[in-house]
């Protein structure tokens, strides 16, 4: 009688490495800016992103109820007319966000909840700003 041995099967899966759950601070809005290579070519978007920390602090958007989180993205598939900025959860997409236009977006939209209508190239399904107003609307 021949002895055959079947390979042993280890049915015990290795213990998974512990995955650390990330944390982020609470925020009112999230501003996303494309720093990809096509909507601007001269580093203008990165410079704009770098300016946001002091601008948000001066406007009181770095903490508290109106805190705005900011992030860079690689491409929105819009790819022209940059710098391109998206403000969530309002679903508002801005183009041609120069330093001066960023100041308008900060003051009107991020602080007062009023979309800067002449800079919008797309409005998502969530409406416009906190109050549903546009700064181009009659009072
Ligand atoms: S590279 Fe900026 S939207 Fe595509």
Report the CATH number that the domain containing residue 40 is assigned in CATH: 3.40.30.10
76 lines ligand 1 (CB under 6 A): yes
Domain for residue 91, yes or no? yes
pLDDT in tens, 26-72: 999 999 999 999 999 899 999 999 999 999 999 999 999 999 999 99
Number of domains in the chain: 1
* Distance between Cα 92 and ligand 1 center (Å): 16
CA distance 50 to 42: 14
82 lines ligand 1 (CB under 6 A): yes
Domain for residue 133, yes or no? no
pTM: 0.81
129 lines ligand 1 (CB under 6 A): no
Domain for residue 76, yes or no? yes
- For residue 137, pLDDT over 90 is answered with no
- Which of 46, 48, 78, 81 is the pocket-test mutation for ligand 1 (most atoms within 8 Å of CB)? 78
130 falls in which pLDDT band (50, 70, 90)?
low
DSSP 115: B
Q: Which of 126, 90, 95 is nearest to 110 (CA)?
A: 90
Alpha-carbon distance values, 117 to 17, 18, 134 (Å): 49, 47, 6
Domain for residue 23, yes or no? no
β-pair type (120-123, 92-94): antiparallel
Q: Is the dihedral of CA 24, 53, 39, 137 positive or negative?
A: positive
Domain for residue 138, yes or no? no
Domain for residue 39, yes or no? yes
- For residue 8, pLDDT over 90 is answered with no
Q: Domain range holding 98?
A: 29-123
Q: Is the dihedral of CA 54, 74, 124, 93 positive or negative?
A: positive
Domain for residue 115, yes or no? yes
CA distance 33 to 45: 7
pLDDT in tens, 61-109: 999 999 999 999 999 999 999 999 999 999 999 999 999 999 999 999 9
Q: Which pLDDT score is estimated for 78?
A: 97
Q: Are 101 and 116 in contact (CB under 8 A)?
A: yes
Domain for residue 137, yes or no? no
């Amino acid at each position: 009688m021949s002895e055959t041995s079947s390979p042993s099967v280890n049915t015990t899966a290795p213990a998974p490495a512990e995955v650390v759950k990330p944390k982020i601070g609470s925020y009112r809005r999230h501003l996303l800016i494309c720093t990809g290579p096509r909507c601007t070519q001269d580093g203008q978007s990165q410079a704009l992103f770098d300016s946001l920390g002091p601008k948000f602090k001066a406007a009181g958007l770095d903490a508290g109820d109106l805190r705005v989180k900011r992030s860079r993205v690689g491409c929105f598939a819009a790819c022209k007319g940059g710098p391109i900025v998206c403000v969530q959860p309002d679903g508002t997409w801005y183009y041609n966000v120069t330093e001066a236009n960023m100041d308008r977006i900060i003051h009107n939209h991020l602080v007062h909840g009023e979309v800067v209508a002449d800079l919008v190239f797309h409005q998502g399904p969530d409406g416009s700003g906190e109050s549903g107003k546009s700064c181009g609307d009659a009072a």
